Amino acid sequence: MMARGGGGRGVRPVDEAAQRRQNAEAPTIPDLGRRVVTLFQPYRGRLLMTGILVIVGAALGVIPPLLVQRVFDDALFPHSGGPQLGLLVVLVVTMIGLYLLSSGLGVLQTWLTSTVGNSVTGDLRVRLFEHLQAMELGFFTRTKTGVIQSRLQNDVGGVSGVLTSTVTSILGNTVTVIASLVAMILLDWRLTLIAVCLMPILVLVQRRVGQVRARIAGQTQESLSELTAITQETLSVSGILLSKSFNRQRSESARYQAQNRTQIGLQVRQAMSGQGFFAVVSVLMSSIPAVIYLVAGFLVAGGTGTITAGAIVAFTTVQARLLMPLMGLMRVALDVQTSQALFARIFEYLDMVPQIQDAPDAQTAATAPGPRGLLEFRDVRFRYPDASPAARDTLQGISFTAEPGQHVAFVGPSGAGKTTILYLAPRLYEATGGAVMFDGADVRTLTQESIIDEIGIVSQETYLFHATIRENLVYAKPDATDAELVAACTAANIHHVIASFEQGYDTVVGERGYRLSGGEKQRIAIARVLLKDPPVLLLDEATSALDTVSERVVQEALDEAARGRTTLTIAHRLSTVIGADVIHVVQDGRIIESGTHAELLALGGLYADLAAQQVAAARIDTDVI
């Protein structure tokens, strides 16, 4: 999507897909681990409690296998005499008690883990959302909405499992592995060496598998971003209307199916990567008890040391307990490596620096020295950040003054830079040269928030939420009373229409307001601005998409809204700016003519040519021109 007002001229497209693929192939960031750890800092207390529970639970889990040795050697088959039933009962009851205690601790641990993990995931999602809101307008004109949504939902959701279970899984499995190894050494160090001899090889193979999975994960998220973007573009009201208008439903379905097939293939690759490795590990670990029996047999037969049946049973029981935590650690290691690609994509967005930021010593607009509503451009130049070096500046030395309460209009051919001028006033874009003055102060010395509070914008593309008329209106003033709503809508010439609806102000307008006509949407947008009651009003071709009847009604509402306010208007139809105090004619980023309607007609320049063309095309009232 190109920026309007000349932004498309000379712009070099950014291959964001290629950039994202590059990021996915090299997902690691030097301080990635540290940054992930800092996400848990607000929950240190709960993490500490979780860690204690994990350590206690893991330690308790190793005790029952050790009791098994006593069950066999001391209770069932003692060296002298028959079975010791009293001791057997004590040992069995103790084992059952330990199982119950371990299970209870596990439930509490799961609750703490889930609470912390999901809280961290929610914090990360909100942090990313807030950061995206701080980005300049140009970022959103360069980036697909579906791609942004994918980062916010799919990528953050993809790391949710890691954030929820990784810490406790690593801690619990590590404690279990260490405790199991200690118990195995105490039982027989020779058997322990045999049981762990293959572990270094498994660790090396696991690292290689993790690298492959990380690369596939990045490609999977990239594909998912494109799938989300296609969904957002084609299943919105505008997208559906477009595809139906051109009978392109089949081609859109084919495009979706192609990307979906890519996604399926990547998901299968991601699911299967490492499965062979885990299968080999499982076979090896499961086969070790048989090897232990064999070695123990040779040790007993060779008389190289005493080893009891209870010790062998206890050893194989402990070794069996070693399998699951060891596999768990390897899976966690793979998950962490895989999640690096997702964390890299998330932090890539969080690391983006907004091109427009408040100065450290920025003041509010209320402290500006000039009169409220004074707007001045002093030799303003502007160049879009992605413009090629050979391209001309979009604006080339724009200078004008809009006095408080004055109506200033801008006309000219498409791409001349009119909208860019309008968007520089509230710092939606930042001038690359000259100065934009607001209330007598350079806008770069004022906070963006305070400037926006002083400005109301009505654009050609009216945006209404899928909500009630009331909810759309109070977006401008959450504490507005019903009387204020009615007053604003009356001034915007829309109250009588709203009152005719069965639900009145509680009528749901539909997606992007599609249940309303174009003129009704525009008048609600005007009422929303009137409710805000700003001293400066920016009108960006607010009636260009309307029919003649709707335009006349909306124009009356705009005239009412502009009364007593500094108003900057961009107009395509000259009939809407005939009464402006001054009209500036913009061409190729410069103001080439200025004056009133009559003065510009008498000048016989571009404005007169535009007026003649519109008269010839019967697009305005010939009697007026």
Q: Mind listing the pLDDT tens digit for each residue in 505-541?
A: 999 988 777 788 888 888 888 888 888 888 999 988 8
Give the tokens for residue 125.
Answer: 């999602």
Judge if 399 and 371 occupy the same domain: yes
| DSSP result, 343-373 | HHHHHHHHTPPPSS---TT-B-GGG-SS-TT
Spatial distance between the Cα atoms of 329 and 272, rounded to a whole number of angstroms:
18
| Domain that residue 273 falls in | 20-350
Give the tokens for residue 8.
Answer: 């498309």
DSSP 8-state symbol, 294? H
Question: Which pLDDT does position 485 carry in this prediction?
Answer: 92
pLDDT above 50 (res 3): no
207 or 37: which leads in pLDDT: 37
Question: Which pLDDT does position 447 carry in this prediction?
Answer: 92
Query: Which residues does residue 193 pair with via DSSP β-bridges, in sequence order?
Result: none
Report helix, strand and coil shares of the chain as percent, to nearest 5: 65, 10, 25
CATH number, residue 507: 3.40.50.300
Q: How many CA atoms lie within 13 A of 179 on its CB side?
A: 23
Domain membership flag for residue 377: yes
Domain membership flag for residue 15: no
Maximum mean pLDDT: which of 141-150, 155-164, 223-232, 357-366: 357-366
Question: Which pLDDT does position 236 carry in this prediction?
Answer: 64
- Across the beta sheet with 590-595, the strand order is 455-459, 536-540, 566-570, 407-411, 582-587, 590-595
Domain membership flag for residue 240: yes
Judge if 134 and 59 occupy the same domain: yes
SS3 category, 82: coil
* Of 18-22, 99-103, 155-159, 558-562, minimum mean pLDDT range: 18-22
Judge if 482 and 376 occupy the same domain: no
Q: What is the mean pLDDT of residues 43-65?
A: 81
* Of 53-67, 281-295, 601-615, minimum mean pLDDT range: 281-295
pLDDT above 80 (res 419): yes
Name the helix (H) or strand (E) containing 434. strand 433-438
Spatial distance between the Cα atoms of 190 and 184, rounded to a whole number of angstroms:
9
Spatial distance between the Cα atoms of 491 and 485, rounded to a whole number of angstroms:
10
Judge if 161 and 295 occupy the same domain: yes
pLDDT tens for 587-599 read 999 999 999 999 9
What is the overall mean pLDDT for the chain?
Answer: 79
Judge if 147 and 51 occupy the same domain: yes
311 or 453: which leads in pLDDT: 453
pLDDT above 50 (res 602): yes
Spatial distance between the Cα atoms of 544 and 461, rounded to a whole number of angstroms:
10
Residue of 167, 169, 168, 172 lying closest to 61 (CA atoms)? 172
Judge if 395 and 267 occupy the same domain: no
SS3 category, 273: coil
pLDDT band at 484 (very low <50, low <70, confident <90, very high): very high
CATH number, residue 195: 1.20.1560.10
Name the helix (H) or strand (E) containing 625. none
Bridge-based pairing state of the strands 582-587 and 566-570: unpaired
Question: Which pLDDT does position 421 carry in this prediction?
Answer: 93
Question: Which pLDDT does position 380 carry in this prediction?
Answer: 95
Question: Which pLDDT does position 203 carry in this prediction?
Answer: 62
Judge if 495 and 558 occupy the same domain: no
- Domain C-terminal end among 507, 531, 555: 531
Three state DSSP letters for 438-483: ECCEEHHHECHHHHHHCEEEEECCCCCCCCEHHHHHCCCCCCCCHH
Question: Which pLDDT does position 237 carry in this prediction?
Answer: 57
CB atoms within 10 A of CB 230: 19
Name the helix (H) or strand (E) containing 290. helix 275-302
pLDDT above 50 (res 464): yes
pLDDT above 50 (res 378): yes
Spatial distance between the Cα atoms of 553 and 574, rounded to a whole number of angstroms:
16
Domain membership flag for residue 357: no
pLDDT above 80 (res 278): no
Domain membership flag for residue 11: no
Q: What is the mean pLDDT of residues 355-374?
A: 89
pLDDT above 80 (res 5): no
pLDDT above 60 (res 7): no
Question: Which pLDDT does position 397 carry in this prediction?
Answer: 92
Domain membership flag for residue 493: yes
Judge if 271 and 240 occupy the same domain: yes
**Range list of β-strands (E), 294-432:** 375-382, 395-402, 407-411
Judge if 177 and 323 occupy the same domain: yes
pLDDT above 60 (res 623): no
pLDDT above 90 (res 410): yes
Judge if 334 and 479 occupy the same domain: no
Maximum mean pLDDT: which of 11-15, 28-32, 83-87, 616-620: 83-87
Domain membership flag for residue 4: no
pLDDT tens for 71-96 read 877 788 777 667 788 888 888 898 88
pLDDT above 50 (res 23): no
Judge if 393 and 499 occupy the same domain: no
Question: How many domains would you assign to the chain?
Answer: 3
Q: How many CA atoms lie within 13 A of 6 on its CB side?
A: 26
Spatial distance between the Cα atoms of 330 and 322, rounded to a whole number of angstroms:
12
- Domain C-terminal end among 531, 564, 583: 531
- Domain C-terminal end among 321, 350, 379: 350
pLDDT tens for 107-155 read 888 888 888 888 888 899 889 888 888 888 888 888 877 788 878 887 8
pLDDT above 70 (res 8): no
Judge if 80 and 116 occupy the same domain: yes
Domain membership flag for residue 10: no
pLDDT above 50 (res 191): yes
